[in-house]
Amino acid sequence: MAIEAVRGDITRQEVDAIVNAANQGLAGGGGVDGAIHRAAGRAQLRAACEALGGCATGDAKATPGFNLAAQWIIHAVGPRWRGGGHGEAELLASCYRRSLVVAAELGARSIAFPAISTGIYGYPAAEAASVAVSTLRSTLASTPLGIELVRLVAFDDATFERYRELLAAPGPLSP
Ligand code: ADP
């Protein structure tokens, strides 16, 4: 079981499941959501998302990956940052936990995450990275999910460096 960080484009990851930073309507949008819809195939992914009937903040739902190398897309809805006093950290942690569980239920053994909520939704990137790493570590250590690889995909250098620092610090799953 490993958690690793890479700098790159999540649509290019060769893993069983990639996570999308979606919105409650699962209607497609900008940022990573738009990139995933383009790469997977807009029409077919839109139809699959419509059939799911939306998704609550903090939850995650799956569709096929269509034209992606990944077999599945896990659509997770992160919180909008509203200053930090509105349960944002718990909702963001819930996205990471629920995405792991949904992926495991589909039999995925590898999964890649973008930095959920850190773009249009405005979550401070360094804090979001801490939530991501601590939640992934605690969930994977406490729950047998059969997931062997978790890849954190950073779209910018600062996020990538932050992941590397956090992953190098002692934790239950550090090397
Ligand atoms: P949110 O609405 O949850 O904030 P965004 O898509 O606006 O979602 O941004 C989430 C993060 O995804 C940002 O850090 C952004 O830089 C990053 N991102 C955008 N495009 C990609 C991509 N193709 N691959 C990986 N990360 C991406």
Q: Which DSSP string corresponds to 56-109?
A: -TT-EEEEE-TTSSSSEEEEEEPPPPSSS-SSHHHHHHHHHHHHHHHHHHTT-S
Pair 123, 31: CB distance under 8 Å: no
Secondary structure (3-state) at 112? strand
pLDDT value at residue 173 = 54
Give the pair of three-digit tokens for residue 133: 């790493």
The 10s digit of each residue's pLDDT in 15-43 is 999 999 999 999 998 999 999 999 999 99
How far apart, in whole angstroms, are the C-alpha atoms of residue 18 and residue 56?
Answer: 19
**119 CA distance to ligand 1 middle (Å):** 5
Percent share of the chain, pLDDT over 70: 98
Please provide the DSSP assignment of 135-167 as one string: HHHHHHHHS-----EEEEEESSHHHHHHHHHHH
Q: What residue type is assigned to position 84 of the chain? A: G
Does 33 qualify as catalytic in the annotation? yes
**121 CA distance to ligand 1 middle (Å):** 10
CATH number of 2-168: 3.40.220.10
Pair 120, 29: CB distance under 8 Å: yes
User: Mean pLDDT in the chain?
Assistant: 96
The 10s digit of each residue's pLDDT in 105-149 is 999 999 999 999 999 999 999 999 999 999 999 999 998 899 999
Q: Is the CB of 80 under 6 A from ligand 1?
A: no
Place of tokens 């590397």: 164
Atom of ligand 1 nearest to the CA of 9: 24
User: If you take atom 23 of ligand 1, which residue's CA is the nearest one?
Assistant: 9
Q: Is the CB of 88 under 6 A from ligand 1?
A: no
pLDDT value at residue 172 = 61
User: Can you tell me the mean pLDDT for 38-56?
Assistant: 98
pLDDT value at residue 175 = 47
**116 CA distance to ligand 1 middle (Å):** 7
Domain ranges of the chain: 2-168
* pLDDT band with cut points at 50, 70 and 90 for residue 170: confident
The 10s digit of each residue's pLDDT in 69-82 is 999 999 999 999 99
pTM, entire model: 0.97
How far apart, in whole angstroms, are the C-alpha atoms of residue 101 and residue 95?
Answer: 10
Q: Is the CB of 33 under 6 A from ligand 1?
A: yes
How far apart, in whole angstroms, are the C-alpha atoms of residue 155 and residue 115?
Answer: 8
Tell me the best of 12, 24, 118, 159 to mutate to test the pocket of ligand 1, counting ligand atoms within 8 Å of each CB and taking the most: 118
Q: ∠ at Cα 155 (150, 160), nearest 5°?
A: 65
